[in-house]
Amino acid sequence: MKSLFALFIALFMSSANAGPTYVWEYSSGAPGALPRNLQLIITFADNWSGYYKSVACPVDVPGTIEDVCPPDPNSGIERIYASLNGVEWNTIEVFPQSKPYSAHVDIEMSLEFLSGGLLSGSIFIDDLHSTFILDSVGSLFTVRAVGHDFGSAAGGCAGLGAFECSGATGVMRLVDDPFNVPEPSSIALLGVALGGLMLGRRRSKRA
């Protein structure tokens, strides 16, 4: 019973403490605009200042393995996930604030929170193999370049260079993080289960 109660508290706290998460939502684009199946998720920390550029670090960092930079507590970013259709070799996932990350990852983002749960600004994410570049007019973002050394067929960009795989438009919309944040319904169901177990225990004691 105690372990179940502790699990309920942990889930509740993880949901309450999660930073704001914004997800790419395709809007429109000119005929043939690319890429298709872009996945972009950004979770901010409480200390987000509106701008961040990753600082180049030495390849050999004390306390870490080769080619890894230490976490940057001033990044203001908890998580970045950029991918074409979830294909592993065309995916960049970084936790700048809390986890070591590849020394080859270059991030530059200037983003502003807008009313209605939207973002505006510019996004540049690159790891020497994959590239994701977007900017916005107001809340409407346009993909300027997406690509990978091995090609970007997953986004409909087979045989195209990064700057040719472009033109799709959309918004970055505030949502619950689908990867890390427990859904409210999950917490509610766990609460109901916990309540039922407690009630059943009381009845068994009375008997």
Q: How sure is the predictor about 16, in pLDDT bands with cuts at 50, 70 and 90? A: very low
Same domain, yes or no: 141 and 173: yes
- In terms of pLDDT, which residue wins out, 59 or 29? 29
Same domain, yes or no: 117 and 91: yes
Same domain, yes or no: 176 and 186: no
Q: Are 5 and 198 in contact (CB under 8 A)?
A: no
**Running DSSP on this structure, what letter comes out for residue 75?**
S
What's residue 18's pLDDT? Answer: 54
Same domain, yes or no: 194 and 107: no
Q: Flag whether pLDDT at 165 surpasses 70.
A: yes
Same domain, yes or no: 144 and 164: yes
| Number of domains into which the chain is organized | 2
Q: Once rounded to an integer, what is the mean pLDDT over residues 177-197? A: 47
Q: What's the whole-number average pLDDT of the chain?
A: 78
Calpha distance 129→127 (Å, rounded): 5
* Nearest CA among 160, 163, 129, 161 for reference residue 145: 163
Same domain, yes or no: 109 and 168: yes
Q: What is the pLDDT of residues 49-85, one digit of tens each?
A: 999 998 777 655 555 555 788 899 999 999 999 998 7
Q: What is the pLDDT of residues 98-156, one digit of tens each?
A: 998 888 899 999 999 999 999 999 999 999 888 999 999 999 999 999 988 766 676 77
Same domain, yes or no: 104 and 12: no
Same domain, yes or no: 204 and 103: no
What's residue 126's pLDDT? Answer: 93
Cα distances (Å, whole numbers) of residue 119 to 16, 50, 98, 109, 113 = 21, 11, 23, 11, 5
- For residue 100 the two structure tokens come to 């070591």
Q: Which domain holds residue 97?
A: 20-180
Calpha distance 117→137 (Å, rounded): 16
